[in-house]
Amino acid sequence: MSLCAAVLVVAALAAAVEPARACSCVPPDPWSYLEKADGAFVGRLVSRQEGDEGRAVLTFSVERAVKGKIGRTVEVETASSGAACGIETSVGRRIGLFLVREGDGWFGLLCWQVEPEELLAAASLPAPNGRGPVALFVGGRFGPARTLALDRKGRTLAYGLGAGYVQAFSVCPGGRRVAELVGDTPYGVDFVAMRELPTLRLIRQQPVKVVYAEELACVNASGEQLAVFFSDTAARGRLRRVTPRSATTLWRGSAFYTAFWKHFAYVQALDPGGTTLIAVDVRTGIAKKLGTVSIDGIYQLAPNRVGTKLASDSYAEGSGDPRLVVIDLGRRPIAARTIPMPVDFGDVVWLSDDRFAYLAKDKILVFTSQLQLSARISGWRARSTTVLRSRLVGVSRLGRLLQAQLPSGRIRVVRRLPGEPYVIVSATG
């Protein structure tokens, strides 16, 4: 039903509606409404004047006219009662509103009132066209959005609106919510956010006082418990459990990195003898020392899907001996296997329980957990990479969504994303 037809329907119903009965609206799809509307704007209510025949005239100051010839202020006629679907907002409140023409004036309804960011997103971002469940999350800056939910073909399912840049994602157990670690800049952390799936509707945001953080884990299905690890340049590390009402330190010590797997945090504690791994159950706070490996300068360790092995690279200051490292957690004491690092520093992404991809500069090197090289792919230029089934999926600095098919190594550009992406993760972890 077009917006103009909706005016007639609401007008007919308004005369019969009981004062105590609230207007019932289906939340509008901003993309389809923007296409059908005669006008749309983001602004704030300045004044309200009651009129005749159950109508009122609202005057808005206009922050941005999105569609139609709308000046710095606009008068909008509406039903005088919210029960009759008249616009309901307070003086000074910022809203988005779709409009239709009635003669020489504008008419609006409560059912056409949306959050400003939703209207701005419809004006600046392509309409979602994906199908099926969420397969990928992309964080960055996309106009009024900082998060994209993509299907397995890389099409957009939903936009996560809001300011800032996402540093990390964590899907909550059960797959109905996703947590974000967000900073006001691409390189800092200022708050955590929780969204529902698959709509990416924002549930809550709360500040976190950290110096530097990249690791986040959602502990329970509701997202009421999150785990965040952070450290500073002096390696003063902290692992905290964060709830909407409190933050509890579970571990503190000398560490730069940790890795989350399910409800465990594998803290990489610095030790005079190398690197000591400590497993902390983030639900209970119980910490257990797994052992020490005599390797200095291990970077961010990545766990395989079953949590039995960790892989990374290492570079001890002044040693000039960069290594590729795999730590076997199934042995007691834990044991490390290393080989000389074949290329410059990079990231590790596990492909299966026994293989991982080492990503450095424009290369992908595929290793077994025994550090045997099994494949080499050139031309991979992604700033962040994840795994989706038998494919590596990444985002480039130019905003491209990339895909490398394994084991063939064929690389293609899936699409150009509507903004600047910084991080991509699989929705299955």
Residue 8, pLDDT above cutoff 80: no
Q: Tell whether 87 and 137 lie within a shared domain.
A: no
Q: Which phi and psi (to 5°) does residue 110 adopt?
A: -60, -35
Q: Tell whether 158 and 110 lie within a shared domain.
A: no
Q: Cα dist. 206→141, 193, 210, 241, 420 in Å? A: 20, 7, 12, 13, 24
pLDDT in tens, 85-108: 999 999 999 999 999 999 999 999
Cα 255 from Cα 168, distance rounded (Å)? 19
pLDDT in tens, 166-219: 989 999 999 999 999 998 877 778 899 999 999 999 999 998 876 666 789 999
Which residues lie below 8 Å from residue 256, measured CB to CB, with a gap of 6+? 231, 235, 237, 268, 270
Q: Which of 121, 151, 172 is the last residue of a domain?
A: 121
Residue 13, pLDDT above cutoff 60: no
Total number of domains in the chain: 2
DSSP 14: H
Report the run of H or E that residue 156 belongs to, with start and end: strand 156-161
pTM of the model: 0.87
Cα 303 from Cα 310, distance rounded (Å)? 4
pLDDT in tens, 110-126: 999 999 999 999 999 99
In terms of Cα–Cα distance, which of 120, 175, 128 is closest to 148? 128
Q: Tell whether 169 and 247 lie within a shared domain.
A: yes
The predicted pLDDT at position 343 comes to 66
Q: Which residues on adjacent β-strands are paired with residue 230? A: 213, 238
Q: Tell whether 141 and 13 lie within a shared domain.
A: no
Torsion sign across C-alpha atoms 247, 250, 253, 254: negative
Chain-wide mean pLDDT for the chain?
Answer: 89
The predicted pLDDT at position 185 comes to 79
The predicted pLDDT at position 186 comes to 73
Q: Which of 121, 142, 175 is the last residue of a domain?
A: 121
Is residue 333 reached through a cis peptide bond, with omega within 30 degrees of 0 on the bond before it?
A: yes
Q: Tell whether 131 and 104 lie within a shared domain.
A: no
Domain span including residue 48? 3-121
Q: Tell whether 318 and 373 lie within a shared domain.
A: yes
